[in-house]
Amino acid sequence: MQILMFAKQKGGVGASTLAREMGTLAAAGGERVVFVDLDPQASLSKWWNRRTAGAADPPNPALAATRPDQLLGVLNHLRATDSTDLVVIDVPPSVHGFLLGIMQAADVIIIPVRPTADDFEALPDIVDMVERAGRRYAFVLTQAPTGRRIRAVEEAVPILARQGRVAGVVRFRGAFPAAGAVGRTATEYEPNGKAAAEMTELWAYVGAELRKMHRPPPSNLAAVV
């Protein structure tokens, strides 16, 4: 079982949106996915409720309702029961002390950030915490402008790249809120759209990062010896 976690300082950067997209792409690829929503605003849970209302079959991704202080126990349970391939953890805005222990359990942490001075100035707080956790992480540039204001993106990517890996660039696209309103992802809502293409590309990166971190279960041979 692997854990993909989001981390952010600013609100509204697109973390819940990316959590939905990455989780559903993993599930579409055959993985058994569980979402964990640590944000009291519960955007991910509300979207999941819209998505699964009236569903006949057990949904994949599933949703694990848990308080932050119970999460490590829930993760241990999911691991012990071998019922889950990927846990996707969405977080509240800003740096909370309780997040450090959870970050330490993550395989990969994604930090969404918009290409604005306000967002960039807020980054050190969260990057410090992620680095203290010592886990693999990457930035995603989100809600990046299209058209004439594209310079903001051209300038932002190298700044992020000096600090760490850049997993991808996601533009400002109406497909994300439109899909979210009906409990879908942009990838499902407009499979041939630009947002879907960006998400497929991002999932290729994130999936590859997760595979690098894959820890094989102890072999039977070792257990016998």
Nearer to ligand ATP, 73 or 177 (CB): 177
Footprint of ligand ATP on residues 126-145 (CB under 6 A)? 142-143
Q: Which of 5, 7, 9, 17 binds ligand ATP (CB under 6 A)?
A: 17
Q: Which of 120, 172, 193, 197 binds ligand ATP (CB under 6 A)?
A: 172
Identity of the residue numbered 82: D
Q: Which of 2, 9, 16, 143 binds Mg ion (CB under 5 A)?
A: 16
Can you point out the beta strands (E) in 107-164? 108-113, 136-144
Nearer to Mg ion, 1 or 91 (CB): 91
Footprint of Mg ion on residues 30-59 (CB under 5 A)? 43
Q: Which residue, 64, 67, 93, 94, is CA-closest to 3?
A: 64
Provide, rounded to whole angstroms, the least separation between the CB of residue 76 and Mg ion.
25
Residue 187 near ligand ATP by CB under 6 A: no
User: Which x/- pattern over 42-71 shows residues binding ligand ATP (rule: CB under 6 A)?
Assistant: -x----------------------------
Q: Which of 39, 131, 188, 201 binds ligand ATP (CB under 6 A)?
A: 39
Q: Which does 191 bind (CB under 5 to 8 A by kind): Mg ion, ligand ATP, none?
A: none
**Which residues are CB-neighbours of 14 under 8 A, at least 6 positions away?**
112, 114, 140, 142, 143, 170, 176
Tokens of 168: 């991808």
DSSP SS3 for 135? coil
Residue 180 near ligand ATP by CB under 6 A: yes
Residue 94 near ligand ATP by CB under 6 A: no
Identity of the residue numbered 107: D
Contact between 1 and 86 under an 8 Å Cβ cutoff? The reply is yes
Q: Rounded CA gap, 26 and 33, in Å?
A: 7
Q: What angle do CA 52, 57, 62 make, to 5 degrees?
A: 55
Q: Rounded CA gap, 170 and 141, in Å?
A: 6
Q: What DSSP string runs through 179-221? A: HHHTT--HHHHSTTSHHHHHHHHHHHHHHHHHHHT--PPPPHH
Residue in this structure with the two tokens 């973390």, named with its chain if needed: 15
Q: Which does 2 bind (CB under 5 to 8 A by kind): ligand ATP, Mg ion, none?
A: none
Nearer to Mg ion, 1 or 186 (CB): 186
Residues lying near Mg ion in the complex (CB under 5 A) are found at 15-16, 43
Residues lying near ligand ATP in the complex (CB under 6 A) are found at 8, 11-17, 39, 41, 43, 93, 142-143, 170, 172-173, 176-177, 180
